[in-house]
């Protein structure tokens, strides 16, 4: 725990407006304003030697109207994972890229662009690579209901057996999810 406490004190000294928290052993969470993330990434890679960008993930806070981008950094020497979280606007989401610091960030950003619709400025190649024939909205957003889309677009077989209708009549009529 010595490493984590030292790291947290260092973050709080250099980025005073961030909120750093030790979640448990080997996990630190840092909430940053959106403008400071690039500086944080540079600092954490060059000075603290966090060599491994594990992933970039995105969380859809539909009630707040925001996306939360989470950058996961791992250090081989200290064995600590640092999650840097920022919030960006949901209606017109765009952010800067960190591809010049870590090259694999290109694919994470491409994935988030395909699934959530976030435009990363500076990343030239944001083409779809997972759902190559997709014509609908970005599918991981919470206002995209997958079941309705699937029932509209794909063809199902008709399947109405007697025992299922009887069960649905006798039950209290819950959702068939």
Partner 1 sequence: MSEKLTQRKAWDIVLDKLTKRSLWMLHYCTGCGAIELPPTMTSRYDMERFGISAMVTPRQADILLITGYLSVKTLQRVILTYEQMQAPKYVIGFGSCTINGGMYWNSYATIKSLDQYLPVELYIAGCMPRPEAIISSFTELIDRIGRGEANSWQDYYDNYDFYKKNQEHVFGEINTYVDIKDDKVKFGI
Residues lying near partner 1 in the complex (CB under 8 A): 131-134, 136, 139, 146-147, 149-151, 153-157, 159, 177
Q: Cβ of residue 140: shortest distance to partner 1, in angstroms? A: 10
Q: Cβ of residue 108: shortest distance to partner 1, in angstroms? A: 20
CA–CA separation, 53 vs 102, rounded Å?
Answer: 7
Strands (E), the chain: 19-24, 27-31, 52-61, 66-75, 80-89, 94-96, 119-121
Cβ nearer to partner 1, comparing 95 with 116 = 116
CB 115 within 8 A of CB 56: no
Name the β-bridge partners of 121: 96
Cβ nearer to partner 1, comparing 109 with 114 = 114
Q: Cβ of residue 175: shortest distance to partner 1, in angstroms? A: 12
Helices within the chain (DSSP H only) = 2-14, 37-46, 105-116, 146-153, 162-170
Say whether 171 sits in a helix, a strand or coil: coil
Q: Cβ of residue 167: shortest distance to partner 1, in angstroms? A: 17
Cβ nearer to partner 1, comparing 33 with 137 = 137
């Amino acid at each position: 725990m010595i490493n984590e406490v030292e790291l947290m004190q260092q973050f709080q000294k250099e980025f005073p407006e961030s909120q750093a928290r030790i979640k448990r052993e080997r996990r630190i969470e840092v909430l940053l304003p959106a403008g400071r993330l690039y500086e944080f990434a540079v600092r954490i890679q060059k000075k603290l030697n966090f060599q491994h960008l594990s992933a970039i993930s995105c969380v859809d806070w539909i009630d707040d109207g925001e996306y939360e981008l989470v950058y996961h950094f791992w250090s081989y020497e200290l064995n600590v994972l640092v999650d840097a979280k920022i919030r960006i606007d949901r209606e017109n989401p765009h952010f800067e890229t960190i591809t010049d610091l870590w090259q694999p960030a290109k694919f994470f950003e491409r994935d988030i662009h395909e699934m959530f619709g976030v435009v990363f400025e500076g990343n030239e190649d944001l083409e779809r690579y997972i759902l190559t024939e997709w014509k609908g909205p970005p599918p991981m957003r919470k206002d995209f209901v997958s079941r309705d889309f699937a029932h509209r677009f794909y063809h199902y077989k008709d399947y109405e057996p007697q025992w299922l209708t009887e069960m649905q009549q006798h039950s209290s009529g819950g959702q068939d999810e």
